Each structure stands twice: as structure tokens, then as C-alpha cells.
């Protein structure tokens, strides 16, 4: 069985991400609803679940945000702190042999607690082998492909970072179900219409500085996860890891290498 993580963000996502409460009360399979909600919960099996429903026609753009209350210039500005991390991605568009790379820069000046956790996960090889297991209009990642490794992190909730910048396109964010529930699942915002996440406590910890075209090619054909859709069941991911995903969802895009520059 391949070592590594599976994501929940969308992506980056994944990307991702140990919660006990809803961010929004119900999930929806109707992608034409008038509002977009992201929420994460624990089931009786303590599985992590982040659910996204969005308004408008389905398109391969997701988890969007606008800098309505926070300056978009601040989001896009280069920070003096932070580290560059390269993600090598396999199975782009769900096809073996299609490979690409994107680069994330952590921003401890935005979210010092989240950035430190993300860098720790990278340094421990947590994301290598990670499947972008839940790809709707975007992706989420952050459940490790080795159940023993994942068990180590499931109860290691983070204290919250204040939201310093808006959830704009390219920002990397830990999923959360409320105060003190961040662990490993992450997502990447792919557009600029998600500023409502700012008020819900979703604090960006970094941003994609190169390769957003690669991020947008994560395989999305499996859709929503079980039981709402035919995509991967997060409880089975927790229990069986990549053994389950490789056999049942072979087209999922995944990270073959994640390393600091």
C-alpha cells in the first residue's frame, strides 16, 4: 500500500483535512442551489467530512472567494516570511502518466499556527501519496493513506488563527467545523467569490504561487463522497487508506512528491 495522504483542497483538497459540529446544517447534492456552504463534521465513527454545495452551473472551479471585507492586495502581496513547497501531481485529468507541479508558499504572517502545522506535515512526508479524494468544483485533501499515520493526527486539533486575509483564488486553507477543530484537511480556493468563509473562521495559511492550472486539473469525475454521492467514503479512507482508494477510485489525482524548495 502506498504511503501518504489522501485530501480533501478541494484541493488543496484537499484536500482534507476531526470535527464535532457543522459549519452549515445540511448537505446538498443540488449544485444549482443559491448558496455555497462548506462544512466538516465527525460521524459516530469519528470520520472527517467536509461538504461543499454551490450555486450556479457545475464547473471545475470551486471554493471561491472575494476580498469584500479584506484587501485583495494584501492576499496577493508577497510575504517576507514563509517557505516554498513543491507538489508533484500524478493522474491529472484522471489519466496515468499525466503529471504536473504546483508550488505553495506558506504565510505565517497570516496564520502562524496553521502555517506551522502545514510545514510540519510536509516535513514528515504526510502528503506524499495523498489522494485528492473529494473533488467537486474544487478539491480537498489531508487524510493520510496509512491508517496508522492518520490516527496519530486525528485528535491533534489546532488552536484557531484569526482570519487575516480573505479566501481569494489560490489561497490554501485548513477545513474547520468551528473553533479549535482544524487538523489535517485542507482546501484551495479556486475563484474569487468566497469571502463569506472569512466570517466563518476559515483562515488562509498560504497560497499557490505557481501552477494553478495544474490544481484545476485534479480529477473530479467521482463527485461527492458517500453516502451523498458515489465518491470515496471517508470512514473507509480512515480505516483502509490508499488500499481502498487505489482499488475503488484509481483515477484520483495524487501527490507523488511533496518537498521544500
pLDDT at 104: 97
Domain that holds residue 158: 5-260
pLDDT at 143: 67
Assess whether the previous peptide bond of 227 is cis (omega < 30° from 0): yes
pLDDT at 141: 64
Of 240 and 191, the structure prediction assigns the larger pLDDT to 240
Q: What is the pLDDT of residues 222-240, one digit of tens each?
A: 988 888 888 998 889 889 9
CATH, residue 84? 2.40.100.10
Q: What's the rounded Cα separation, in Å, for the pair 225 and 233?
A: 6
Buried b (16+ CB within 10 A) or exposed e, 126-136: bbbbbbbbbbb
By mean pLDDT, which of 24-33, 67-76, 133-142, 201-210 is the weakest? 24-33
- Tell whether the model's pLDDT for residue 158 goes beyond 80: yes
- Tell whether the model's pLDDT for residue 34 goes beyond 90: no
How many structural domains comprise the chain? 1
Q: What's the rounded Cα separation, in Å, for the pair 126 and 180?
A: 21
Count CB atoms within 10 A of the CB of residue 257: 14
Q: Is the whole-model pTM more than 0.85?
A: no
3-state secondary structure the chain: CCCCEECCCCCCCECCCCCCCCCCCCCCCCCCCCCCEEEEEECCCCCEEEEEECCCCCCCCCCCCCCCCCCHHHHHCCCCCCCEEEEEEECHHHCCCCCEEEEEEECCCCCHHHHHHHHHHHHCCCCCCCECCCCCCCCEECEECCHHHHHHHCCCCECCCCCCCCCCCCEEEECCCCCCCECCCEEECCCCCCCHHHHCCCCEEEEEEECHHHHCCCCCCCCCECCCCCECCHHHHHHHCHHHHHHHCCCCCEEEEEEEC
Mean pLDDT of the chain: 74
pLDDT at 243: 93
pLDDT at 185: 87
The neighbouring-strand residues paired with 39 are: 51
Amino acid at each position: 500500500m502506498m504511503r501518504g495522504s489522501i485530501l480533501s483542497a478541494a484541493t488543496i483538497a484537499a484536500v482534507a483535512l476531526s470535527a464535532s459540529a457543522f459549519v452549515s446544517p445540511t448537505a446538498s447534492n443540488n449544485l444549482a442551489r443559491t448558496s455555497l456552504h462548506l462544512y466538516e463534521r465527525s460521524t459516530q465513527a469519528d470520520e472527517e467530512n467536509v461538504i461543499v454545495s454551490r450555486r450556479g452551473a457545475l464547473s471545475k472551479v470551486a471554493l471561491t472567494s472575494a476580498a469584500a471585507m479584506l484587501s485583495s492586495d494584501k492576499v496577493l502581496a508577497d510575504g517576507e516570511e514563509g517557505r516554498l513547497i513543491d507538489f508533484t501531481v500524478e493522474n491529472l485529468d484522471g489519466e496515468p502518466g499525466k503529471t504536473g507541479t504546483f508550488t505553495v508558499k506558506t504565510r505565517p504572517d497570516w496564520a502562524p499556527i496553521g502555517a506551522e502545522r502545514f510545514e510540519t506535515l510536509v516535513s514528515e512526508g504526510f502528503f506524499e501519496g495523498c489522494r485528492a479524494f473529494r473533488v467537486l468544483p474544487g478539491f480537498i485533501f489531508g487524510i493520510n493513506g496509512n491508517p496508522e499515520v492518520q490516527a496519530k493526527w486525528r485528535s491533534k486539533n489546532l488552536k484557531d488563527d484569526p482570519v487575516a486575509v480573505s479566501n481569494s483564488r489560490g489561497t490554501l486553507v485548513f477545513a474547520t467545523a468551528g473553533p479549535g477543530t482544524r487538523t489535517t484537511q485542507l482546501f484551495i480556493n479556486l475563484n474569487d467569490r468566497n469571502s463569506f468563509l472569512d466570517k466563518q473562521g476559515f483562515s488562509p495559511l498560504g497560497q499557490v504561487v505557481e501552477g494553478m492550472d495544474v490544481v484545476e486539473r485534479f480529477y473530479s469525475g467521482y463527485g461527492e463522497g458517500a453516502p451523498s454521492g458515489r465518491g470515496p467514503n471517508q470512514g473507509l479512507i480512515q480505516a483502509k487508506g490508499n488500499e481502498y482508494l487505489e482499488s475503488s477510485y484509481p483515477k484520483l489525482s495524487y501527490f507523488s512528491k511533496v518537498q521544500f524548495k
